[in-house]
Amino acid sequence: MGGLVTGKRRIGVIRNSLDFSADQARLDAGRDREFRELSELGLVPEEIDLRAYFRSQDDLRGVVDQFDALWVVGGNTFLLRRAMKHSGLDAILLDKANDERFVYAGYSAGSCVLAPTLRGIHLVDDSEEIAEGYSKEIVWDGLGLVPFCIAPHYRSDHPESEMIEKAVEYFIENKMPFIALHDGEVYTGDTQ
């Protein structure tokens, strides 16, 4: 990914998919690992907590504009999608969709939100999961930045792999276009 990011190589790290967790030691260890790995790629990571923009969406646009890329981590897809809606990040990402200088990268929940819908992912992630400061409203619409659903952790050594099989079955039964990605596989917008 380091080769895709240009400019000052600043990358905003969004971890709101984990806002449900009260395990601070695990959250800190995960943050340290993410930042270390991004730094090893020559990137300059900085966390963006979308909760800080739930009531000041206009401010977030200026913050995101300072970054060359966003790295959006896994966790609960529905919680992440709520955070994107409440902060206005969803609209910002739609505006930046054709900006070739801006890179959106993510894994697990961070990739699932790119789809037209989150239906099917409800078999993997709790759609009703909320955290302090979030509304209970379930956002079923994805960002629609890709024309298919994404099934991460497909047949991988991951605790959610078995549930992803159920999501894939749902996509097939409902004739929903999708791609299934094994851990370590990458979709770059034009290749896998």
Residue 174 is predicted with a pLDDT of 98
* 10-180: CATH architecture: 3-Layer(aba) Sandwich (3.40)
Residue 86: other Cβ atoms inside 10 A: 21
Residue 192 is predicted with a pLDDT of 39
Q: Is the pLDDT of residue 191 over 70?
A: no
Residue 157 is predicted with a pLDDT of 81
Residue 68 is predicted with a pLDDT of 94
Residue 187 is predicted with a pLDDT of 85
- Give tens-digit pLDDT for 53-78: 998 878 999 999 999 999 999 999 99
CA dihedral 182, 185, 76, 119 (to 10 degrees): -70
Is 68 within 8 Å of 102 (Cβ atoms)? yes
For the chain, the domains span: 10-180
pLDDT-derived band at 1, boundaries 50, 70, 90: low
Average pLDDT along the chain: 92
